[in-house]
Amino acid sequence: MRKINEIFYSLQGEGAHTGTPAVFVRFSGCNLKCDFCDTLHESGIEMTDEAIIDEVCKYPCRMVILTGGEPGLWIDDALVDALHKAGKYVAIETNGTQVLPEAIDWVTCSPKEGTTLRIKHVDEVKVVYLGQDVSPYLLIEAKEHFLQPCSCQNTEEVIAYIKEHSQWRLSLQTHKLINID
């Protein structure tokens, strides 16, 4: 059983896959619980892998995004394999502090200050910018490095930072800007 906060169909609003139709499987609970997180960690229902797959397969897209909270607390090879057998492309949004199944197709890591990364592979780094020193995150080997304003509140500051540090790309929470889930 896995504790699921919600499963919904929308467009990916952030990072490299912005605009891509996806089913989001939002897990409850996190080992960090950042102030800006938009997940209600205490709410959710227990679901079997079969129930999760059944719900995911109701929607007409290939991409499934495991998010949270921290999905790394809940997922394993069995769930990822079941999603692949259902024909899904499996992406994850993680803080990177948990060991992940190796078969995940796309790993978005949103590292936090003071934590140790335990993941072996990262496709994109996405850092919520709050004015902190983000230069250590450029050392994480990844295809993309994104800085993201915090809930669309400090966009001008992030743009100015990126203009001075061109290794970064801007990630906006477009789902918030166009008012979709």
Query: What type of residue is 165?
Result: H
Sequence-separated contacts (24+) of 153-160 with Cβ below 8 Å: 154/129, 154/130, 157/129, 157/131, 158/129
pLDDT in tens, 125-134: 999 999 999 9
pLDDT in tens, 30-64: 877 666 666 665 778 999 999 999 999 999 999 99
Q: Could you give the CA distance from residue 63 to residue 50 in angstroms, rounded to a whole number? A: 18
Domains and CATH numbers, the chain: 2-177 (3.20.20.70)
Catalytic residues: 24, 30, 34, 37-39, 93, 175
* pLDDT for the residue numbered 152: 79
| Sheet arrangement for strand 21-27 | 45-47, 2-11, 21-27, 63-67, 89-94, 106-109, 124-129, 144-149, 169-170
Q: Could you give the CA distance from residue 61 to residue 147 in angstroms, rounded to a whole number? A: 27
Pairing of strands 21-27, 2-11: antiparallel
pLDDT in tens, 85-118: 999 999 999 999 999 999 999 999 999 988 999 9
R_g (Cα) of the chain, nearest Å: 16
Using an 8 Å Cβ cutoff, are 43 and 27 in contact?
no
Q: Exposed, middle or buried by CB within 10 Å (0-12, 13-18, 19+), for 111? A: buried
Q: Is the pTM of this model over 0.95?
A: no
Using an 8 Å Cβ cutoff, are 121 and 142 in contact?
no
pLDDT in tens, 70-85: 999 999 999 999 999 9
Q: Could you give the CA distance from residue 93 to residue 150 in angstroms, rounded to a whole number? A: 16
